[in-house]
Chain A
Amino acid sequence: MTAALPVYSKKDFQTDQEVRWCPGCGDYAILSAVQSVFPELGIPREKFVVVSGIGCSSRFPYYMNTFGFHTIHGRAPAVATGLKLARPELEVWVATGDGDALSIGGNHTIHMLRRNVGLKVLLFNNRIYGLTKGQYSPTSERGKKAKSTPYGSLDRPFNPLSLALGAEATFVARSVDVFQPHLKSVLRKAAAHQGSAFIEILQNCNIFNDGAWEALTEKDVRDDRTIAIEHGNPLVFGKNKDKGIRLNGLELEVVSLGNGVTEQDLIVHDEKHPNPAYAFLLSRMDGVPGFPTPLGVLRAVDAPVYETEMNEQIHQVIAKKGKGDLGELLKAGDTWEVR
């Protein structure tokens, strides 16, 4: 970056617009974390663009003093893809929700990840449709009693991380709205990634799905029910750091440390593992009794970046054929002259 880059503070990324989320909404914490991390990235403010779809979370761009585009339901990854292809030098972030990204926009989400377009995707997962006032979402637990499912939902939920890994996303991570230091560290890692970065942020909707993640995030249970994974560290968790994850054949198992079991026996987290199956295994611990829910970066691998390759291809053709001449193009093929 140039020396002339202004020193930004969090305030530089706040707008004059009144924030219109419900008091107590988890979105405030996410907004705050993003506004804290952006100034640290050494990128001129005008290069940031926040693109969103529709839903509570998609109001995000209005509160970020960057370029911002509040698009239509589900289509943010597609709009952002077009922008990033046309302007690869921009820093494009997508704010989306579980309904927006996984239901109406599911197709765009998987295709963006498959192509590895350089977008950072913040998936606010509150497991409910909030803006439309409380219907179950594609991440709601089975049997969810909501406005449209008074007798309980029948759908099996998506696991967003498994889905992203199935699409061979090159960066897949998870954090929690209220775990501010963790969330910020994940955001920084996502910012540094080349290619698509997919971050699921577990978020509370205190109006329509209060306590959405309470069972994981409450102070007295979080150490036992979540595991903060770090590249190069063994998979250890528990209030007393006395439990770990071990590989047994093709399955994971939870083991207690001691009685001959040491950290040497545990999986050492490798976010660079070339096979997405490893990260996929981690993502499948969600909701399995006795297993912790993984938080942190599950996968961060290098792969060709779509917009870079697209530009490369254009440059290669120009290098080979020379810059296009319009007159020549119009006259290409069989022509004849009438005098």
Chain B
Amino acid sequence: MSSSVDAPPRKREILDSAVIRFCGDSGDGMQITGSQFTNTTALFGNDLATFPDFPAEIRAPAGTLPGVSGFQINFGTKDVFTPGDTVDALIAMNPAALKMNLADLRSNGILIVNVDNFKDTDLKKAQMTVNPLEDHSLDRYRLFPVELGKLTRAALRELGLDAKSMDRCKNFFALGMCYWLYNRSMDSTYRWLDEKFGKKPLLAEANKLAMKAGYAYCDATEAFQTSYEIPPAKLAPGFYRNISGNSALALGFVAAARMAELPLFQGSYPITPASDILHELSMFKEFGVMTFQAEDEIAAISSVIGAAYGGALAITTTSGPGMALKTEAIGLAIAVELPIVIVDVQRGGPSTGLPTKTEQADLLQALFGRNSEAPVPVLAAATPGDCFWIALEASRIAVKYMVPVIVLTDGYLANGAEPWRIPDPGDLAPFPVVFETEPEGFLPYSRHPETLARPWAVPGTPGLEHRVGGLEKQDGTGNVNYEPLNHEKMIHLRAAKVEAIVRDVPDVVPAGDPGGDLLLVGWGSTYGAITAALRAARERGRKVGHVHLRHLNPLPKNLGEVLKRYRKVVVPEMNLGQLLYVLRAKYLVDAEGFNKVQGKPFKQSEIEARIEEALR
């Protein structure tokens, strides 16, 4: 290895932002590599957004196209809203990864390729007949063919590891190269390796050596003439951490239970991409969190209804197929008016669909997917960090109004990460729950005059013995009642209760122009792409506004009026137009859809193009 004295003179270029993507076989550790680069970058103080993209199969046949796993990160000095449309630096571990990802690399972009994996057999697995490293097809990129495997093995020669274990470290060689390329410190990854391989110090050492070797390789070879610096972003003052949507939800529910002064109960069944919420909450036992891995999706929500009946803040987390199974039980929670929160981390469908890919096509299911008239409040998080706040908001609404609440996130929010300003618990608004205790005049279905909530009368309270259930209730007493007019009254009451929540829904204030030629209306994870596109369009002088809905039922009071302030309304969604359907029905507005259902988030450029088209 060479010392810095021998290093050729280098240029250091300062950039506003950069997008890099690690891609390789699902066994190549690309998600870990990407997460490590992300953590380091977050600690450095850049704003960032990530997009992990991996196959549903744990291990598709090695080297094949379906087995390709990727991790993209966009990091910058200014606000970063999306993982980036085009890639500035692509690290491809094999031909399949190159083939699947090259289209997103910009011209003259950096392309680091592991040449060790470009033998004829590797090319064949990727269904390639000619070696792209040899046919000049990569001439418009800055190609760096690196013998990642060979160099890694050379670096680890002394450790006495077997070939397979050495080979597993090559992603850290690539990571080390990227750290050099973007002038990042390796410290946080050292710490992570020590923690991760606490019981296997040899493996920690091997990965460290590989990473250092990658860094030194860039330092020593003349191949890399330029390294890049992306100075820290000017974020609002405070403490930050990097957070994914699923982690933020888990923290949000722990915080919500504290604010409600209730124990937290989670009943869930494993399902991609929601399982991480269960994994996280199961670690927080010191907060008294009860996590129950149920035998199926129905048992999960049923246990949650039971726990809520007993007075816990009770939540269940799932994805589309699980949501479908929970349908009947959500109806029960509506009928017995118990507060629960149901999180649907949406994924591609229908049926099993695309388990690891993102989509927004469960909105109508959340709004209407139950038998009879069964309205529930529906909330959607806009960013990974917003998942924390949406968990608090959903819990507060549930216990205040005694209703089940649905929270929609999606695979992109669940696994994507961003820097998150850590709130001070003292700044969170408490909403302590008061259970009913007074037997005198107690009626289980009496109503709070404002919220229309019924009292929360938990078992164990003397004198409050009463029966609840899914059969229609008599107003007030809660006794079983089949009278036509009582049924109609109860149908109206349950609807009015959900409508009443509108008082807690803030009016929308459009971003960008408060009125004008075009309004973009979005919800959920499209927030970043729409925001970035809006900024770009307004810089070009377009009169465009953006409303992003966090409350999808009830909708904000002033939404109808805001829609009228613009000549045109376009609704970008990762579905065939579900919010569009609601807006057209509710406000008789001639809104247009902009729809993408590819299991991938919108690109900024796609929305920008749609803005231009609308204004033409």
Q: Identify the A interface with B (CB < 8 A).
A: 15, 17, 44-49, 51-52, 54, 61-62, 64-72, 75, 78-87, 89-90, 107-108, 111, 310, 313-314, 317-318, 321-324, 326-327, 329-339
Residue of B nearest to A84 (CB): B306
Please give the distance in Å from A225's CB to the nearest CB on chain B.
Answer: 36
Please give the distance in Å from A282's CB to the nearest CB on chain B.
Answer: 27
Given A82-B304, A83-B310, does the pair A326, B254 have CB atoms closer than 8 Å? yes
**Docked pose: A46 CA to B461 CA in angstroms:** 6
Given A62-B480, A70-B469, A330-B423, does the pair A86, B307 have CB atoms closer than 8 Å? yes
Complex contact A85–B235 (CB within 8 A): no
Q: Identify the B interface with A (CB < 8 A).
A: 39, 42-43, 45, 188, 232, 234-242, 251, 254-255, 258, 263, 265, 267, 284-290, 292, 294-296, 298-299, 302-312, 314, 328-329, 331-332, 336, 422-425, 458-471, 479-480
The residues of B that contact A335 with a CB separation of less than 8 Å are 239-241, 422
The residues of A that contact B265 with a CB separation of less than 8 Å are 82, 85-86
Complex contact A78–B290 (CB within 8 A): no
Please give the distance in Å from B311's CB to the nearest CB on chain A.
Answer: 7
**Docked pose: A338 CA to B465 CA in angstroms:** 54
Please give the distance in Å from B242's CB to the nearest CB on chain A.
Answer: 7
Please give the distance in Å from A3's CB to the nearest CB on chain B.
Answer: 16
Complex contact A79–B39 (CB within 8 A): no
The residues of B that contact A72 with a CB separation of less than 8 Å are 302, 328-329, 331-332, 470
Which of B258, B308, B469, B480 has most A Cβ within 10 Å? B469
| Neighbour of A90 across the interface among B43, B45, B312, B459, CB < 8 A | B459
The residues of B that contact A339 with a CB separation of less than 8 Å are 237
| Neighbour of A310 across the interface among B237, B290, B462, CB < 8 A | B290
Complex contact B465–A46 (CB within 8 A): yes
The residues of B that contact A68 with a CB separation of less than 8 Å are 465-469
Residue of A nearest to B457 (CB): A67
Complex contact B255–A330 (CB within 8 A): yes
Complex contact B290–A338 (CB within 8 A): no
Which of B238, B287, B479 has most A Cβ within 10 Å? B287
**Docked pose: A339 CA to B311 CA in angstroms:** 42
| Neighbour of A108 across the interface among B43, B241, B263, B302, CB < 8 A | B302
**Docked pose: A326 CA to B284 CA in angstroms:** 10
**Docked pose: A272 CA to B332 CA in angstroms:** 39
**Docked pose: A71 CA to B471 CA in angstroms:** 9
**Docked pose: A65 CA to B467 CA in angstroms:** 8
The residues of B that contact A64 with a CB separation of less than 8 Å are 467
Complex contact B255–A326 (CB within 8 A): yes
Please give the distance in Å from B404's CB to the nearest CB on chain A.
Answer: 14
| Neighbour of B329 across the interface among A75, A90, A318, CB < 8 A | A75
Complex contact B305–A87 (CB within 8 A): no
Complex contact A314–B288 (CB within 8 A): yes
Complex contact A87–B239 (CB within 8 A): no
**Docked pose: A89 CA to B292 CA in angstroms:** 18
Complex contact A111–B239 (CB within 8 A): no
Given A75-B298, A85-B307, does the pair A336, B332 have CB atoms closer than 8 Å? no
Complex contact B241–A331 (CB within 8 A): yes
The residues of A that contact B460 with a CB separation of less than 8 Å are 46-47, 67, 87, 89-90
Complex contact A69–B236 (CB within 8 A): no
**Docked pose: A318 CA to B285 CA in angstroms:** 7
